[in-house]
Amino acid sequence: MSAPIARVDNGQDPYKWLERRDAPDVLDYLKAENAYLEQQLADQAELRETLFQEIKGRIRETDLSLPSPWGPWLYYQRTTAGDEYPRHYRCPRPADGSLTVDENAEQLLLDPNELAGGGFLSLGAFSVSQDHSKLAYSLDTQGDEIYRLFVKDLVSGEVTALPFDDCDGSMVWTNDNQTLFFGELDDTHRPHKIHRHRLGSEGRSEVYHDPDGRYFVHCYRASSERQLVILSNSKTTSEAWVLPADEPEGRWTCLAPREENHEYYPDHGRLDGQWCWFVRSNQTGINFALYQAAESAPQREHWQELVAHRNKVMLEDISLNASALTLSLREAGLPIIEVRPQNGAAYRLQLPDAAYSLHVQNTLEFDSPVIRLRYEALNRPAQIRQLQLADGGQQVLKETPVEGSFDADAYESRRIWATAADGTQVPISLVGRREAFGKAAPLYLYGYGAYGHSLDPWFSHARLSLLDRGFIFAIAHVRGGGDLGEAWYRAGKLEHKTNTFGDFIACAEKLIADGHTTPQRLAISGGSAGGLLIGAVLNQRPELFAVAIAEVPFVDVLNTMLNEELPLTVTEYDEWGNPNEPDVHARIKAYAPYENVQTQAYPAILAVAGYNDSRVQYWEAAKWVAKLRASKTDSNLLLLKTELGAGHGGMSGRYQALKDAALEYAFVLKVFGLTDA
């Protein structure tokens, strides 16, 4: 079977015809590409199955999550072998304060396996009312991130479907246990309205609407459970409105009217015994400071500084409960937890690894003396740690198990630094079996570099299948991400976007120069905005890499940003710029992967798209692959897989995700000639 050849239309965009969603010839072309992929990888069927079984064999298929205490109940999830999704349960909370689950008294709250019926399913909201009598939940059954809303009576078991369309999936209870606030999407898939609905009534009442296409709107409960917050924010500016949770039909109060480039994020808690607002704001510096205001006077003119702006420390988030204020910081490229007890001296957590991922996973009930942290490293499975806020004592409550023979000490984690063209030092995190270092190994390099998202090192059960075959895995912490704070992000967006690509190339060159790998043994990977990164560096330095994987890749960035009718385009102007402005158009066109496909040799490429993806349209990958196939001068594999029943996150079930990983790893092993490994 020969590779599918896409027809070429006249005009500036030769493959624009692939944008005709649901057209028979488009679907036929995508199916032909899928068939070609399977034909080209047919000799790997046994290897793919071996990889799938390896990965599945490391995962504890039947397991119980760590229960969360709330009121009279413990809430938890249980996974069962053979099921794609975890089931949600609760049982009465033990009187002795333990987390022991009583299976004989447990109540099944929701079974996504039954609701999925073998198809796609994504659970959005899962929100229990304050009196624990009702469950509000939302479901996406297509992968397009449009949700249907449901309320389940936890006493009778009756389920009511709410008669509202185009919902973003959010659902927030008020304290009367009868009223819900939920979000609505506009025609461009942007959450733009918040509605109020009282159970038993037929309609809804609009309480907030933001017509500005740059802003996303959502509603949440404050940590204290006493206040509700509507936050409307673009990528550079925010505005918040608040309402007592006991007054669902009350009047919302604005904390600070929007002011361009002022971002602020409020939460509600207690300080020195008094209810008050805590506001994380960048009004005095890009790394954010923390302010406090009385509950009765939350407006900006009443804010008082609690934690000053620091030039080298990013205040990423705050977590509140009655016992302490917990700061999530980023310093020297690493996440830091700093705790300020209500009574006692502040302290920072001490951790065992040089490079790691750490965040507050759950603050539990507001009056809890403990919180839960999630901690992991490239060679250390995720741990849920309980932190005693008063004195900093830590206890590992649960470690994600790795079934079979696994020894964390057999793997070594390192952090090195590459030097970019402008002299900037760019961190790289690496992991491999100890014997893989000191020689040129096959190496898998991952990158992202957008939206200020940090790629803190994470553990992967699937990745062990590469490491145990002699691979080194590396993360390039390039500019555009948030790995070294807000300045690092800003240095890789808008007019500085090309720094992201230069940093990634510098990381690849550093790994080669240090003898960790060679261009013939270097695989690269990225998804979504990371797919744009992959597409850009392939155009610039194709000889540097042997194989590339681009998942839901944002490679048609110029045409997408010119089409304001597409979901989310206008909101992206703050990240990429508005190409309706001539200088921005020229800037984006100069690096956009689709526009810059060259008549040259490219490495082997696997592109994966989701047909129902509302963030990165399926045709971006399809058009890019079509243009590459018509332009490239080599005979290396070029494959496109379109998941016809999935969206931005791929297929929804856990086993399908493992099969997708097995496919990608087998593709890399095939290119490297390691199929017998």
Q: Cα–Cα distance between 169 and 146 in angstroms, integer?
A: 7
Cβ-in-10-Å burial (0-12, 13-18, 19+) of 225 comes to middle
Q: Cα–Cα distance between 632 and 636 in angstroms, integer?
A: 9
Give φ, ψ of 338 to 5 degrees. Answer: -120, 125
> Is 309 part of the annotated catalytic residue set?
no
| Catalytic residue chosen out of the listed positions 122, 613, 614, 652 | 613
Concatenated DSSP letters of 571-600: GGHHHH--TTSHHHHHHHHHH-TTTT--SS
Residue 13: partners with Cβ closer than 8 Å, 6 or more residues away: 559, 623
Both tokens assigned to 256: 């600070």
The amino acid that residue 391 corresponds to is: D
Q: Cα–Cα distance between 555 and 578 in angstroms, integer?
A: 16
Buried b (16+ CB within 10 A) or exposed e, 331-347: bebbbbbbbbbbeeeee
Strands (E), 15-72: 63-64, 68-70
> Is 613 part of the annotated catalytic residue set?
yes
Residue 405: partners with Cβ closer than 8 Å, 6 or more residues away: none
| Catalytic residue chosen out of the listed positions 189, 218, 268, 648 | 648
Q: Cα–Cα distance between 22 and 611 in angstroms, integer?
A: 10
Given CA atoms 294, 299, 302, 306 in this order, what sign does their dihedral have? positive
Both tokens assigned to 615: 């963030």
Q: How much of the chain is helix, strand and coil, in % rounded to 5? A: 25, 35, 45
The amino acid that residue 216 corresponds to is: F
Both tokens assigned to 490: 């800003």
Both tokens assigned to 165: 């369309």
* Count of all residues that appear for the chain in the document: 677
Closest CA to 333 of 489, 504, 473: 489
The residues pairing with 338 across neighbouring beta strands, listed in sequence order, are 327, 348
> Is 648 part of the annotated catalytic residue set?
yes
Q: Cα–Cα distance between 188 and 230 in angstroms, integer?
A: 20
Q: Cα–Cα distance between 555 and 624 in angstroms, integer?
A: 7
Q: What is the dihedral of CA 22, 25, 26, 31, to 10 degrees?
A: 100
H/E stretch holding 560 reads helix 557-562
On whether the CB atoms of residues 318 and 325 are closer than 8 A, the answer is yes
On whether the CB atoms of residues 504 and 495 are closer than 8 A, the answer is no
Q: Cα–Cα distance between 319 and 545 in angstroms, integer?
A: 42
Q: What are the Cα distances from residue 516, in Å, to 2, 429, 456?
A: 36, 13, 21
Both tokens assigned to 347: 């302290």
| Catalytic residue chosen out of the listed positions 465, 528, 614, 652 | 528
Q: Cα–Cα distance between 587 and 561 in angstroms, integer?
A: 12
Q: Give catalytic residues, as residue numbers.
A: 528, 613, 648
